[in-house]
Amino acid sequence: MSNAETSPIHAKVVVIGSGPAGYTAAIYAARAMLQPILISGFDAGGQLMITTDVENYPGFADPIQGPWLMEQMRAQAEHVGARLVSDHVTQVELGQRPFKITGDSGQVYTADSLIIATGAKAQWLGETSEEKFKGFGVSACATCDGFFFRGKKVAVVGGGNSAVEEALYLSHIAEKVTLIHRRDSLRSERILQERLFARPNIEIRWDSAVDEILGSEAPLSVEALRIKNVKTGATETLPLDGVFIAIGHKPATELFAGQIELKSNGYIKTAPDSTATNIEGVFAAGDVADDKYRQAVTAAGLGCMAALEAERWLAAKHG
C-alpha cells in the first residue's frame, strides 16, 4: 500500500471478478457505453484457468483450453472499452452511495452500480495425490469432464446432493461408478437416493475415505484409488480411471457477508429470473450466485443479464 493517498477512481459500473460472468458483464457494460472497471483479483480467469480441455462451450468444434478461452474473453473486454485492473478487492462497503471498494493496492474505487462475479471454488480433500492428478483423472465437475470417461470405471467421493447427482450423471457415461462415503448413510434428498440405489452400475462403499489416488507418471493418469474403512482401518485398492470429488463448492462471498442477503448455503441470493440482489444497484452473476448449474456458459449468460440489468437500473436512477 502506498503512503501517498491516491484519489478514488469512479465508475458507473464496477465488476468484481474475472471469470466468464465478470468478463461478459464487462463486455456488455462497455458496449452500452458505461465505461466499466473490472477488478480481476488474484485468480484472474476463475475456475477455467485450471480446466484443460473444454468441449462444452458453444462455438468451438474442437476442444479448447480453459486458459485460452479466458484470455480471449479478457482481450474482448478490453477491445470493446472495459478498463481491466489487476487489483484484489479487500473491502466492499455497500451501505453508502456510491459504493466503495478498496483494493489490496490501497486504491479506492467508487461505483454507482456493482456487479459481483467473484465465483465459487470446488472444495477439495487436500490430499497430495489429489493435487498431483488434478486435471489428469481427478475432477470436481462431472458435467465438465464425464465425457472423457466413456465406458470407464470412476469413483465419486461424497455423500450429499452434489455427490449423488454426479454419480447418477456419470452412470450414464461410465461403465461403473463407485460412490465413496465416509458415513453409513447419505445426506442427499430421498428421491436422489432412490434413483442412486436403482442404478445397476453404481456401487457404494460405506464408511470409507480416500487414502491415496494412485496412477502413472508419464503421462500422468489415474489408475486406482486406495480407500480406507474409517471404522475398521482396513484398506482396499479399486482399479479405476477417474476420481470425482463432490464434497461441495464454496462461493467467494466473504467480502459481502453481513452486507448482502445470502442463501443458507452461502451463495448470494438473487431475485427470481434476475441477477438483482437485495441491495438496489448491486447485481450478482455466475457461480457466486448460481448453486445449481455452475457452468461457464451459464455464468456468461448471467454476466450478460447483470450488465443489462445494471444498465437499465442506472438509466432509471441516474438518467
Q: Are 275 and 284 in contact (CB under 8 A)?
A: yes
144 catalytically annotated: yes
Catalytic residue among 43, 141, 211, 291: 141
Confirm whether 304 is a catalytic residue.
no
Catalytic residue among 87, 112, 144, 241: 144
Distance of CA 212 to the CA centre of its chain: 25
145 is catalytic: yes
Q: Active-site residues: which are they?
A: 141, 144-145
